[in-house]
Structure 1
Amino acid sequence: MAESGQATRAVLVDAAGTPLGGDQEVAAWCRAEEDPGRAGAVQTLPRPLRTPAKVVIVGLGGGAADGDYRAAGAAAVGAVARDEELQVEVPAGATPEQVRDLAEGIWFAGYRFAEAPEGPRTAAVDLITSNDGYAESLSTAQAVARAVWLARDLTNMPSSTKNPAWFAGQVVAEAATRPGLTVIVREPEQLAEEGFGGILAVGGGSATPPRLVELCWAPEGATRHVVLVGKGITFDTGGISIKTRDGMKLMKKDMGGAAAVIAATLAAADLGLPVRVTALAPLAENAVSGSAYRPGDVITHYDGTTSESTNSDAEGRLVLADALGYAVANLAPDVVIDLATLTGANMVALGKGMAALYSHDDDLAAALVRAGTAAGERMWRMPLPEDYAEYLRSDIADRHSSPAQGAGSVVAALYLRDFLGDKAGSWAHLDMSAPSWSDKTTGDLVKGATGWGVRTLVRYLTA
């Protein structure tokens, strides 16, 4: 760790390379360099200036574009060694939203998996500001960062530890630290009594039985109820339709949707948001054994309808179907949003950095896109063509869960829509398989789980 007073100092510069703190020596250095002010650009001065501390110059770009301040914060953290302290001076003219972005960038990029042997990215970060009006922005950024870190920790946890019971226990423990939250955990016996056939089928092949977690934040005076549903497959072998080795090696991340909706609901409580939020996390391990469900099985869901499943590797939609049916029948939601690492087709269509968004509600879709843009999580709205619903027709059940005609992400969304009933018009589905994992450390993402969806959901709930 750097000695007291020897912290690395990050100087933010605008698109023209002008230091926002008015540091003339840094200004002189920037005039000799090309493009020093691009958002996220970093230069380390070759020698100290007046202070013996190291100085890094961090570009802020124009500062007005979504993500400029977040990129600068992340770049500042990336420019220092793990054992160094970091000081970042907040520009005097920054808006509260820009300060929030700066702090989020710092804290997102500073993440390290809680179980990893190495510590946080930096020893300490000191945001220097003379404006007391930024306190709320920093508090909000801290709550969101804490939620993102939790979602990343849950998703990064090896499945040798992370079975459905363990995940449920983590939710109970987190909720116990926050007033105003309630948790219901349904165990296998209760799932059977209440008819959660999809969850039971998918979890039936595992030695660690499934669970359904219901986490609720219900503040007094809330005027709307948002239900968040997240796919929670704690490990996915593919079941009897077993995956390849390469297809299976990252399947500890197949509960990223559940992690996101749980973490976002905890953040809603931390921030005291005036909206009722219920998170549903159907949790199961899709394993191979004599009790695993088979291709060709017909499964009866919570709402009493049936699905023919000819591919046990299309398991996520089966557990989501139960949770969606339960939400519509019992929770009186105004809005239903589900998040799931659902299909490989998401990455085929949109690449690694973008989720697929499906919704019949133009206003809801637009609100989620705005929230995602502000949060730095990209998504693209996809179609829900009615003629594709024909792909779901089954000769022996109400629907086919895994048809092979193509358009995998689209057809999966249409399948889920079946369970919304009269709430289909106020529902959105986010297929976030691709952006849920980062293969390298870049920007505000650290190699591993990204916690995708938490930022977007908190922004949406705050709007």
Structure 2
Amino acid sequence: MKTLLALSIGAVLAGSTLLSTSVSAVTPAPYIHTQFSVTESMQQADLLVVLVPEDSGELRLSGWDRASRNHINRAISVAAFDGKAGSQLEIVAPVGLNYGRVLLLGVGNPAELTRVKAEDMGASLSSWVNGTKAETVHVHSQLIANASDNHRITAAMSHGVELRNYRFDRFKSQPDERPAQRYSWQVALATDARAQIEQKQALAQGVFTARELTNLPGSSGYPEAFANFAKAVLEPMGVEVTILGPEQVKALGMGSLYGVSQGSDMKAHLLVARWRGNNDEAPIALVGKGNTFDTGGYNLKTQAASILRMHTDKAGGAAVVGAIQALAGQKAEAHVVGVVPLSINMISGTAQLPGDVVTAGDGSTIEIGNTDAEGRLILADGIWYAREHIKPRAIVDIATLTGAKVGALGTSYSALFTKDQQIETTLREAGELVQERVWPMPLDGYDTIVRSRIADRINTGSPGAQAGAIFLQHFAGDIPWAHIDMAGDAFNASASGIHPEGSSGYGVRLLTEWVKLFQAQQN
């Protein structure tokens, strides 16, 4: 018996034409066309994939006669296939079998195969399958005898297949056909494996949402459009969504957020999304930078290659939306609120000027040392709003904030700033789990680097990554807080591993796993 786990239920932006003033053009639609089912028995398919532990010896699967076994095992011997993790052996037109191809895929020692390695193997499998004409794929995992390893590896591989098969093609008049294979996963126990795959599917949908939002061009993913898209995705899942428009932002005194977009026709918004997965009074707060296109303001970005990618400056906010979606889809037992300050720093006669002074929501004043350091300006009010109006037990903010972070750490790690040991430990654990790793950076000794001559603080300073973190730390007050600078991690110039070309959806998996780890330690 097999139960269909449809992957076409996600939310994505649809429509072939978007006007910069049209919010109604942002509507839900399917993300990908791949479908999964789970079974405990062999199924007919165009392609058979066998997951082979290391040193399995002669392969004998149900339904293989002597001629089939001899053909397969002779191929194994000639190719010296040993089942090491990630190794592959393709057998075309296998004797006696109704499969066009058999792919042997090594899993090494199943007990030692990490989640990340299994996900990468799933992504590699997806890429390989997409290069064939196979429409149906049967993945046989029952050589992995331990049921726990069997289900864990199968779910992780299915997740890798999903993540690699995402495509951002909504602006193409004649897009290439998306991968649309039907996968059946033969497992030790269908019920347990199905539950784990469904959890991974919910996580993948959150990643897809973040990728979609981040990939949107500036004139399509502007503040109001971003907020309304998130509402359309999240509300049907039971998430409480509140959108504050520009007049409400101004009325609450959030001049730091409002000022970044004051020169644009598309003014600042604040998105608040609450998932009540338990009865905890004090939630966990996630705050994500949502600058929907970063021109630099009057400190204009002048390099064409740089400004072309500035639609990705909303990747932190997209990660928060995706994490809330994933947690809701997984029915996570956590009370979490996502806050996304949304802006676009366009130039006009009313735009913010270098040297201006704005008043943030907490009443403190900020000198605008550089209009291109707008991310910390909008995050300041987002963090303050979370602290003042949500009363959380902890705040974690995430942003593509500084080029200095890329200079210090490259893209192998995000920079982590916090003085809370529990938050640091759990964020690092979550990062290792999904390979969205964070590296702790110091806060002590930098207290004066954002001191202003004319205001309470200035939005610039050196070293740059520390200046951003020190600036933001003030607005968290006494709430346990961490800042993640994910600059450089939002976009992939080419497909690699679980990521297709374009937005990576970075941060969704990190934040989703962190919330669950942190919640477990708090109980």
What's the secondary structure of 1:138's corresponding residue? helix
Alpha-carbon distance in 2 for matches of 1:107, 1:397: 50
- Over residues 297-332 of structure 1, what are the superposed CA-to-partner deviations in whole Å (9 max), with x where a residue is unaligned? 111111111111211111000000001111111211
Q: Does 1:327 pair with 2:386?
A: yes
Aligned pairs (5 A) from 1:423-434: 423=479, 426-434=480-488
Q: Does 1:9 pair with 2:42?
A: no
What's the secondary structure of 1:370's corresponding residue? helix
2:140 maps to which residue? 89
- Over residues 206-255 of structure 1, what are the superposed CA-to-partner deviations in whole Å (9 max), with x where a residue is unaligned? 22112100011123423651100000011111111111212111111110
- Over residues 85-143 of structure 1, what are the superposed CA-to-partner deviations in whole Å (9 max), with x where a residue is unaligned? 33222344352433332221121112112625234334332222241221221110110
Segments of structure 2 that go 5 or more residues without pairing to the other structure are: 1-32, 34-42, 518-523
8 Å CA contact retained: 1:354, 1:434:
no
8 Å CA contact retained: 1:56, 1:79:
no
Q: Does 1:436 pair with 2:486?
A: no
Q: Structure 1's 120 and 193: CA in aligned 2 closer, same or farther, altered over 3 A?
A: same
Q: Does 1:226 pair with 2:277?
A: no
1:214 maps to which residue? 272
The correspondence for 1:380, drawn from 439, 457, 461, is: 439
2:79 maps to which residue? 33
Between the aligned residues of both structures, percent identity stands at 32
1:418 maps to which residue? 474
Alpha-carbon distance in 1 for matches of 2:108, 2:491: 27
Alpha-carbon distance in 2 for matches of 1:295, 1:69: 49
Q: Structure 1's 187 and 53: CA in aligned 2 closer, same or farther, altered over 3 A?
A: same
1:108 maps to which residue? 163
Aligned pairs (5 A) from 1:47-446: 47-49=93-95, 50-63=97-110, 64-66=112-114, 67-81=116-130, 84-85=134-135, 86-90=137-141, 91-95=144-148, 96-113=151-168, 115=170, 117-131=175-189, 132-179=191-238, 181-222=239-280, 224-243=282-301, 244-384=303-443, 386-403=444-461, 405=462, 407-423=463-479, 426-446=480-500
Q: Structure 1's 399 and 103: CA in aligned 2 closer, same or farther, altered over 3 A?
A: same
Alpha-carbon distance in 2 for matches of 1:397, 1:138: 53
8 Å CA contact retained: 2:47, 2:100:
yes
Alpha-carbon distance in 1 for matches of 2:84, 2:368: 51
Q: Does 1:448 pair with 2:499?
A: no
Alpha-carbon distance in 1 for matches of 2:515, 2:374: 29
Aligned length: 455
Alpha-carbon distance in 2 for matches of 1:146, 1:235: 24
Q: Does 1:461 pair with 2:507?
A: no
Alpha-carbon distance in 2 for matches of 1:18, 1:160: 58
Alpha-carbon distance in 1 for matches of 2:317, 2:224: 14
How far apart are 1:36 and its partner, in Å? 5.9
8 Å CA contact retained: 1:61, 1:68:
no
8 Å CA contact retained: 2:268, 2:344:
yes
Q: Does 1:44 pair with 2:90?
A: yes
Cα-Cα RMSD: 2.3
Alpha-carbon distance in 2 for matches of 1:332, 1:281: 16
Length-normalised TM-score, structure 1: 0.92
Alpha-carbon distance in 2 for matches of 1:137, 1:251: 36
Segments of structure 1 that go 5 or more residues without pairing to the other structure are: none
Alpha-carbon distance in 1 for matches of 2:493, 2:500: 9
8 Å CA contact retained: 1:109, 1:121:
no
Q: Structure 1's 39 and 448: CA in aligned 2 closer, same or farther, altered over 3 A?
A: farther
Q: Structure 1's 18 and 210: CA in aligned 2 closer, same or farther, altered over 3 A?
A: farther
- Over residues 251-294 of structure 1, what are the superposed CA-to-partner deviations in whole Å (9 max), with x where a residue is unaligned? 11110111111111122222221211100011111112112111
Q: Structure 1's 52 and 101: CA in aligned 2 closer, same or farther, altered over 3 A?
A: closer
What's the secondary structure of 1:452's corresponding residue? coil
What's the secondary structure of 1:418's corresponding residue? helix
**Which segment drifts farther, 26-35 or 210-219?**
26-35
Q: Structure 1's 398 and 32: CA in aligned 2 closer, same or farther, altered over 3 A?
A: farther
Alpha-carbon distance in 2 for matches of 1:340, 1:255: 8
Alpha-carbon distance in 2 for matches of 1:37, 1:438: 31
How far apart are 1:27 and its partner, in Å? 4.7
How far apart are 1:346 and its partner, in Å? 2.0
How far apart are 1:161 and its partner, in Å? 1.1
The one-letter code matched in structure 1 to 2:207 is V
The one-letter code matched in structure 1 to 2:146 is G
The one-letter code matched in structure 1 to 2:139 is V
Q: Structure 1's 11 and 210: CA in aligned 2 closer, same or farther, altered over 3 A?
A: same
8 Å CA contact retained: 2:48, 2:99:
no
Q: Structure 1's 329 and 19: CA in aligned 2 closer, same or farther, altered over 3 A?
A: farther
The one-letter code matched in structure 1 to 2:485 is D
How far apart are 1:176 and its partner, in Å? 2.7
8 Å CA contact retained: 1:84, 1:124:
no
- Over residues 357-396 of structure 1, what are the superposed CA-to-partner deviations in whole Å (9 max), with x where a residue is unaligned? 1111122111111112112322222222x22222111111
Alpha-carbon distance in 1 for matches of 2:416, 2:177: 36
- Over residues 153-175 of structure 1, what are the superposed CA-to-partner deviations in whole Å (9 max), with x where a residue is unaligned? 11112222111111111111112
What's the secondary structure of 1:173's corresponding residue? helix
Larger Rg: 2
Q: Structure 1's 122 and 12: CA in aligned 2 closer, same or farther, altered over 3 A?
A: farther
What's the secondary structure of 2:468's corresponding residue? helix
The one-letter code matched in structure 1 to 2:128 is A
How far apart are 1:14 and its partner, in Å? 3.2
What's the secondary structure of 1:282's corresponding residue? strand
- Over residues 170-213 of structure 1, what are the superposed CA-to-partner deviations in whole Å (9 max), with x where a residue is unaligned? 1111123122x211111111111111111111111222112100
